Amino acid sequence: MLSNNNYIAPKGIIAQFEAKDDDVSAADDELEAIKQKKMAELQKAAAERQAMSAITQPIHLTDSNFTSETAKYPLMLIDFWAPWCGPCRMVAPIIDQLAKEYAGKVIFGKVNVDENPVISNTFGIASIPTMMMFKGGKVIDVIIGAMPKGQIEMKLKQHLSGGSTTIYS
């Protein structure tokens, strides 16, 4: 009977095994890089959610900060108002209350149309209160007039659940 204890593999076979070891090592390195990238993305998303949760009052928006603020948040409801407007004063406490209740999900903003004519004209605000919903810096819905909390909330829930994505220009 022959003994295989002295068997020496041909150089080609050894090279194949070494190449496969290199492939496995490269795949492990690639998987580790993907894992680290995904972990960084998850940590960033968690930090953004935490930062959004801290915003429990409407943000004061102006002609100068409007574009940067609306682009910063995934979903934002903006109330266009004026201090002399009775219906605006009726909606204001509702917006304040919703800002607290939806902290971490929706950011709320307020634009005084008298003090910020550029933004008001850009969006063609002809009557107030007008509320605009922004997603990724683009208008996706408009509510004109003083609405009860339930109707505003219904619109919020619709957009939070991924409902209507109508974009207004």
Q: Point out the residues that are catalytic.
A: 85, 88
My answer on whether omega of the bond before 129 falls inside 30° of 0, hence cis, is yes
Determine phi and psi for 93, rounding to 5 degrees: -65, -30
Determine phi and psi for 61, rounding to 5 degrees: -105, 145
Determine phi and psi for 6, rounding to 5 degrees: -100, 15
Sequence-distant (≥ 6) Cβ neighbours of residue 158 within 8 angstroms: 164
H-assigned helices in 8-109: 11-53, 66-72, 86-101
Question: Rounded to whole angstroms, how far apart are CA atoms 152 and 58?
Answer: 15
Residue 100 CB neighbour total at 10 angstroms? 11
